Structure 1
């Protein structure tokens, strides 16, 4: 394979994000394409890029474990023996908040096929998105009041805890497409459901998603769910689903853990959400048109997400998101980041808007 044919997003993933170097052992942890989540063309293009960087490339099929809480014991030796694990599997995403079983540095890939990896989603330099994430974290943590509105009647107010230090996943995420979760403990209000409740990707249960009629609202006070209101039948359906999931796993059904929104202008979801809510939940969340709360469980990320579509997020009256458009130039230092990364600046000039809805 010639250098010109190497997927540029794969190089960004390996070299810029994971920091791989020649001679290192790179383990690709894959999920069989028969599960219809990751495409069959993704692992070969990442492997080719790793070979081009002079790495020793190995591959292991993790299988799909709907309720995984740790790396299967039979896979641990291979994970521990690698210098870098690139997760092309839902297993890595399911364990993103769990204490790592090995000291191996790990990156979870959210590009699900080679074409997406080679698109703007995968090729914006990773350090630029890290810098954007950090600026966003600081701006929101410093705000006296944050207000979230939009999405059929959402209206939430609050602030990050004083002394709040943003926490994130134990693995690296590629592409980096959301800011760090903000604790919902200081927030209250109502969140308009966009016509469904769906999972967070921590565990896969049946049903993973329930559809709802219009006019269903989730209400909460200081990070504690109170009730679903609006359409009576829809509110009952949402409550039944919440209680079922909470009882299945012994979770605090009133816990609203945290929230964050998409910051990646190249993130998109093609085709209707009905094609696969599971794939949508695991790939579309980085688009700035989507903000989501982690709920149903006191530990991140909970089991049910409340999704706000086309949010407006104001920090002390400054709309950093306006009707689903992220405006990074309004962040202190945002103009400098855009000026310093042509790819990021151009992506924000023509952001992707497809989210399957």
Structure 2
């Protein structure tokens, strides 16, 4: 594994680049504390070695008004492949993008992540795993979600596997399945904080709790919280504030997904930068992620459930944060075709940025 091999995996197995293609890297400067400066160079050098024509443009970071300016759009039109090493791509991934282009959002944020199993695991294998999970969910009569802190959620998935059910922007690495609509799910979600989704950014982005808080959900609607009174008050206030700020449906729970990529580690302290953590760590199987507060994906407040067990008709495909992909129909065959990915599942990266508070 190496950063260069991770970049080649992106270019060949995700973008399907060919010699002579024009690659535009839309990057966010490292000064914003999200993407490392080295990430651009890693991809640019790999692309040039593959015979691509490389251009790069600084798209900055505009938390309040993400958009494609006319001059930027003209740069996009001249490219065959557009790679976002910038949050702008994630902010706009559910919006209109130029047609006829290969547009990729990278969740590998640094040279370190490009050199890890996260970026080096063959991209095609994770596309196949995603499809297998989607099919299993679509066929399931009942899904049960639990976790060590007391989550207990059940429902029957009503999947939307058409193009409208997921973003059409390519994501690298592929690390989650198609979001499961939450309107048919009810129960209790246990968490230790609330945080934003990366759709919009706002002050007090991540209120932490002194003890686990339980969010109560009925058929995809938030009905209240249980926990220490001061924590419940903080959760309620966060929903009131964010919903009021953006004029959105406060109690709507849109959808959920869990990570499918055992190479997706987060080697930093999540509490030092929840925004960065939320944009990189969610692909780890130890994290189940709900989109809430707003009738659209990804909403504005996320629930993050750690070490989930997810049972489909009694079969645990996730066991306390370990994705048992071999239990999927066709899972063992995927491992046989991609032994490098099988190795990642044998030695999953369990680091999701949790550090002892001192």
Report the TM-score, using the length of structure 2 for normalisation: 0.96
Instruction: Report what 1:344 is aligned to.
Output: 341
- Quick one: distance in 2 between partners of 1:77 and 1:96? 18
- After TM superposition, the structure 1 = structure 2 runs for residues 143-158 of structure 1, keeping only pairs within 5 Å, are 143-158=140-155
Alignment partner, residue 181 of structure 1: 179
Q: CA deviation at 1:170?
A: 2.1
Kindly provide the CA deviation profile for residues 167-212 of structure 1, in whole angstroms up to 9, marking residues without a partner as x.
221210000011110100100011011x210011111111211111
CA distance in 2, matches of 1:92, 1:34: 18
Query: CA separation in 2, counterparts of 1:216 and 1:153?
Result: 10
- C-alpha distance in structure 2 between counterparts of 1:314 and 1:260, whole Å: 13
Structure 1 Cα separation of the partners of residues 182 and 142 of structure 2:
13
Higher mean alpha-carbon deviation, 161-170 vs 213-222, is at 161-170
1:232 pairs with 2:229: yes
Alpha carbon RMSD of aligned pairs, Å? 1.5
Contact 2:159 2:180 in 1 (8 A): no
State the match for 2:89 in structure 1: 92
Please name the residue that 1:310 is paired with: 307
Alpha-carbon distance in 2 for matches of 1:150, 1:5: 34
Q: Alpha carbons of 1:163 and 1:212: their partners in 2 closer, same or farther (altered >3 Å)?
A: closer
Partner Cα distance (1:344, 1:353) in 2: 16
Per the alignment, in what secondary structure is the counterpart of residue 321 of structure 1?
strand
Tell me if 1:134 matches 2:126: no
The answer to whether the Cα contact below 8 Å between 1:71 and 1:101 also exists between their aligned partners in 2 is: no
- 1:125 and 1:226, CA in 2 relative to 1: closer, same or farther beyond 3 A? same
Within the candidate set 189, 192, 195, 1:191 is matched to 189
| 1:331 equivalent in structure 2 | 328
SS across alignment from 1:209? coil
Q: 1:188 to 1:164 in 2, by over 3 A?
A: farther
Give the match for residue 111 of structure 2.
114
Match of 2:168 in 1: 170
Give distance in 2, aligned partners of 1:92 and 1:14.
17
Q: Does the 8 Å contact 1:262/1:285 carry over to 2?
A: yes
- How is 1:1-357 mapped onto 2 (pairs within 5 angstroms)? 7-161=4-158, 165=162, 167-193=165-191, 195-357=192-354
Query: Helix, strand or coil: the match of 1:45?
Result: helix
Shift of 1:163: 7.0
Q: Is the 8 A contact 1:6 1:48 kept in 2?
A: no
Structure 1: 5+ residue runs without aligned partners?
none
Structure 1's 101 and 5: CA in aligned 2 closer, same or farther, altered over 3 A? closer
Shift of 1:70: 2.8
**So what's the TM-score if we normalise by structure 1?**
0.96
Alpha-carbon deviation of 1:308?
Answer: 0.4
The answer to which of 13-22 and 162-171 deviates more is: 162-171
Q: Is the 1:292–1:305 contact (alpha carbons within 8 Å) kept by the matching residues of 2?
A: yes
